[in-house]
Amino acid sequence: MISFLQQNAFWIIAIVKIALLLFIVLTVNAYLTWFERKVVAHIQSRWGPHRVGPHGLLQPAADGLKFLFKEDPTPAGVDRFVYYLAPFLALALSLTALAVIPFSPRPLEIFGQKIYFWIVNPDIGLLILFAITALSVYGIALAGWASNSKYSLLGGLRSSAQMISYELALTMSVVGVLLMANTFSLQSIIEQQDHGKWGIGFLGWNLFAWTRNGLLFPQIIGFICFFTSAIAETNRVPFDLPEAESELVAGFHTEYASFKFAMFFIAEYTAMITVSCLATILFFGGWLSPFPDTKFFYITHFIPSITLIPFGLWVIYDGIKYETIFGKLILPAVGFAMFAIGGTLIALPGVNDFIQPIFWFTAKVFVFLFFYVWSRGTLPRLRYDQLMNVGWKLLLPVSIANVIVTAAVVLWRSHP
Amino acid sequence: MSAVLLIFFVLAGLAVLGALSLVFQKHPIHSALSLIVVMVCLAGLYLLMGAEFVAAVQIIVYGGAIMVLFIFVIMLLNAGEEEHTDFSKLARFAGLPLALALTASLAALVIRPDASISAPAPVFIPKATEQISTMLFKDFVYPFELTSFLILVAILGALVLAQREKK
């Protein structure tokens, strides 16, 4: 038995990692919908979900059950094969993209097996992500075409036109980072932003682009172009024209119900997570802490605890005065768990050091996810001609200019 | 080696099936979908030969950009099922012999013992992408630039045609 485990360790570790990542991502997806509804509600002076569970925390579970038990009608006159293929394609591709994201450089050692925090780490990680993005338009476009409905068809058409337009700007805006990194490997891109003991911290990220050779061209413009076109690629507000509720009912997924609709939904949220991870890796130093890795700044290693302990205490306080008995039981328990984790991290410095990269990576990703939700709560949808103008006449020329300037500066710094 | 061979045959089989389905499907969208399957299988074959960069570019350019454009146009024209006309007279008489001749010549080329097109062993060369770019921008920079010039001419041609229609 043990020899079998050792011989097949590679496969077992890979499968367990995939299952774990899927579980985490799907849970995060579920709670992202809760988070989004809460934040948008508060932007609009509402409460958002608060009936199902304390603070509406069980709303995602209720939604999931509803998706499973709803009737799943197939409209008349659909192209059956493509109609069923489209949601699978959308979901499978968006989940596959997460496989190449590296979350932390430090391996976990269990029974002599080094377990890294990524599923695969190919040399062409970034290109694989772009390849998956390029294919993921088919899920939406084919869903729109196969549904046999004019709203869906318009949604599918819009989405393919939008994807073609914004993919150019998306790819061009990353070239600046590639010129500085000299590699497609996501892990190496993060590592070359790390200046360790040299002590410049977040100034070494590609967004600010300090290196030992001096200041390169900061990728602020590149980042703005990247994130704008990434929002368009994920079909989110203000670029959600493929599903524009006020014009196209629900756009490409008008004719989808029940779990097939949920698959599009999960695909969209997973794409949001992937894009946030990519923005973190390319421009914000991935798992690197914003503080320099020096003795003076060692105190910043306690930031996870410093955030968790007061927040846990607040959740306990909030839970004690919560109206329902269920809330009075659950919320203090959650708060105590947070408090306990924060305390454990202070007590065990080894564990604390180990989770630093994961903490910073997750924190940065959540900032971007919040940005997604924030823009949904505040920005109006673009008109179709405005969308095309922004893509072709603004983002593409600006990102090409960014590539030229970056290339010049990199050349000048390497041959002074 | 057997695993690699197995993957090769699965991908090659899928590619051939996709190509056949491309020809025999009646609806243009189904044909386009089959073509995407062929493209992705080809990318897999490139990956099997250790050409990571070519594989990724194959998917990004052919599987992504070009095929999206195909599908976009088919959807925009709302093309229905094709009506098969009677095949051309040339195809009726010369089709089968020509196809046989092509297959025979290809088979002869592959079977020949001193075949010059033997598949290279799948080796993952580190920095393969860097080697490609060095070759492209140093050794073959003039052909590369000429190709880009050709594409520029094509873009200009498309623009001129589109502008003429506006008037």
- What are the boundaries of each domain within chain B? 1-81, 125-167
Q: Which two tokens stand for residue A24?
A: 């985490």
Output the pLDDT for position B153: 94
Output the pLDDT for position B167: 60
Judgement on whether residues A354 and A280 belong to the same structural domain of the protein: yes
Judgement on whether residues A182 and A134 belong to the same structural domain of the protein: yes
Instruction: Evaluate whether residue A323 is within a structural domain.
Output: no
Instruction: Evaluate whether residue A280 is within a structural domain.
Output: yes
Which residue's entry shows tokens 């007590």? A347
Taking an 8 Å cut-off on Cβ atoms, the answer to whether B63 and A134 are in contact is yes
d(CA A238, CA A391): 13
In order, the DSSP letters of A80-118 are HHHHHHHHHHHHHHHHHHGGG----SSPEEETTEEE-SS
Residues A279-298 have a mean pLDDT of: 82
The pLDDT-based confidence of A288 (bands split at 50, 70, 90) is: confident
Instruction: Evaluate whether residue A278 is within a structural domain.
Output: yes
The chain B residue lying nearest A140, using CA atoms, is B68
Is residue B149 predicted with pLDDT exceeding 90?
Answer: yes
Judgement on whether residues A38 and A74 belong to the same structural domain of the protein: no
The secondary structure element, H or E, covering residue A215 is strand A214-215
Judgement on whether residues A44 and A152 belong to the same structural domain of the protein: no
d(CA A82, CA B72): 15
d(CA A115, CA A13): 7
Residues A126-136 have a mean pLDDT of: 87
Taking an 8 Å cut-off on Cβ atoms, the answer to whether B75 and A141 are in contact is yes
Judgement on whether residues A48 and A111 belong to the same structural domain of the protein: no
Judgement on whether residues A86 and A51 belong to the same structural domain of the protein: no
Residues B18-41 have a mean pLDDT of: 87
Determine phi and psi for A192, rounding to 5 degrees: -75, -5
Nearest by CB to residue A131, choosing from B64, B75, B130, is B64
The pLDDT-based confidence of A204 (bands split at 50, 70, 90) is: confident
Determine phi and psi for A349, rounding to 5 degrees: -60, -30
Kindly provide the ipTM of the predicted complex, given to two decimals.
0.77
Residue type, B145: E
The pLDDT-based confidence of B150 (bands split at 50, 70, 90) is: very high
Q: Which two tokens stand for residue A185?
A: 């490997």
**How many distinct structural domains can be found in chain A?**
2
Output the pLDDT for position A398: 92
Number of residues in chain B: 167
Is residue B129 predicted with pLDDT exceeding 80?
Answer: no
CB-based contact, B75 to chain A, within 8 Å = yes
Q: Which of A82, A403, A161, A89 is nearest to B72 (CA)?
A: A161
Tally the C-alpha atoms within 13 A of residue A390's C-alpha that lie toward its C-beta. Answer: 20
Instruction: Evaluate whether residue A202 is within a structural domain.
Output: yes
Residues of chain A with Cβ-Cβ distance to B131 below 8 Å are none
Instruction: Evaluate whether residue A322 is within a structural domain.
Output: no
- Of the segments A184-198, B42-56, B145-159, which one has the largest average pLDDT value? B145-159
Which residue's entry shows tokens 């798992």? A287
B residues 138-167 lying closer than 8 A (beta carbon) to A: none
Is residue A202 predicted with pLDDT exceeding 80?
Answer: no
Judgement on whether residues A175 and A248 belong to the same structural domain of the protein: yes
Q: Answer for the pair A264, A143: CB distance below 8 angstroms, yes or no.
A: yes
Residues of chain A with Cβ-Cβ distance to B43 below 8 Å are 131
CB-based contact, B28 to chain A, within 8 Å = no
Judgement on whether residues A168 and A33 belong to the same structural domain of the protein: no
Residues of chain B with Cβ-Cβ distance to A157 below 8 Å are 72, 75-76
A interface with B, Cβ–Cβ < 8 A, is 79, 81-82, 122-124, 127-128, 130-131, 133-135, 137-138, 141-142, 144-145, 153, 156-157, 160-161, 163-164, 167, 182, 184
Output the pLDDT for position B122: 52
Residues of chain A with Cβ-Cβ distance to B28 below 8 Å are none
Q: Which two tokens stand for residue A292?
A: 């320099």
Given CA atoms B132, A169, A178, B43 in this order, what sign does their dihedral have? Answer: negative
Comparing B46 with A10, the larger pLDDT belongs to B46
Output the pLDDT for position B24: 83
Output the pLDDT for position B114: 62
* B75-125: pLDDT as tens digits: 878 777 767 666 677 777 788 888 899 999 988 887 776 655 555 555 555
Judgement on whether residues A113 and A42 belong to the same structural domain of the protein: no
Taking an 8 Å cut-off on Cβ atoms, the answer to whether A124 and B60 are in contact is no
Instruction: Evaluate whether residue A251 is within a structural domain.
Output: yes
> Domain B1-81 adopts which CATH fold?
Four Helix Bundle (Hemerythrin (Met), subunit A) (1.20.120)
Contact residues for A137 (Cβ-Cβ < 8 A; gap 6+): A159, A160, A163, B64, B68
Domain extent at residue A47: 16-62
Which residue's entry shows tokens 């179709």? A384
Residues of chain B with Cβ-Cβ distance to A82 below 8 Å are 29-30, 33
Which stretches of A213-302 are DSSP H helices?
Answer: 220-233, 245-248, 258-283
Is residue A127 predicted with pLDDT exceeding 80?
Answer: yes
The pLDDT-based confidence of A401 (bands split at 50, 70, 90) is: very high
- Residue ending a domain, among A45, A62, A79, is A62
Judgement on whether residues A42 and A144 belong to the same structural domain of the protein: no
Output the pLDDT for position B121: 54
The pLDDT-based confidence of A152 (bands split at 50, 70, 90) is: confident
* A100-126: pLDDT as tens digits: 888 888 887 777 777 788 888 888 888
Comparing B166 with A255, the larger pLDDT belongs to A255
Residues of chain A with Cβ-Cβ distance to B59 below 8 Å are 131, 134-135
Judgement on whether residues A136 and A49 belong to the same structural domain of the protein: no
CA distance B75 to chain A (A): 7
* A234-253: pLDDT as tens digits: 888 788 877 777 777 777 88
Question: What percent of chain B shows pLDDT beyond 90?
Answer: 14
Q: Which two tokens stand for residue A272?
A: 């949001």
Taking an 8 Å cut-off on Cβ atoms, the answer to whether A127 and B36 are in contact is no
Judgement on whether residues A22 and A154 belong to the same structural domain of the protein: no
In chain B, what is the straight-line distance between the N-terminal and C-terminal CA atoms, in Å? Answer: 62
Residue type, A117: F
The pLDDT-based confidence of B164 (bands split at 50, 70, 90) is: confident
Nearest by CB to residue B75, choosing from A123, A153, A163, is A153
Nearest by CB to residue A131, choosing from B27, B33, B56, is B56
Is residue A168 predicted with pLDDT exceeding 80?
Answer: yes
Q: Which of A237, A238, A206 is nearest to A222 (CA)?
A: A206
What's the CA angle centered on A65, arms A60 and A68, to 5 degrees? 125
Q: Answer for the pair A207, A223: CB distance below 8 angstroms, yes or no.
A: yes
Contact residues for A273 (Cβ-Cβ < 8 A; gap 6+): A25, A28, A29, A32, A98, A365, A369
d(CA A397, CA A258): 42
Taking an 8 Å cut-off on Cβ atoms, the answer to whether B60 and A123 are in contact is no
Output the pLDDT for position B113: 64
Residues of chain A with Cβ-Cβ distance to B137 below 8 Å are none
Taking an 8 Å cut-off on Cβ atoms, the answer to whether A135 and B27 are in contact is no
Q: Answer for the pair A86, A146: CB distance below 8 angstroms, yes or no.
A: yes
Question: What percent of chain A shows pLDDT beyond 90?
Answer: 11
Which residue's entry shows tokens 């990724």? B56
Number of residues in chain A: 416
Look over chain B and give the mean of its residue pLDDT values, rounded to a whole number: 81
Taking an 8 Å cut-off on Cβ atoms, the answer to whether A164 and B53 are in contact is no
DSSP A214: E
Interface test with B, best of A82, A89, A124, A182 (most B CBs within 10 A): A124
Instruction: Evaluate whether residue A120 is within a structural domain.
Output: yes
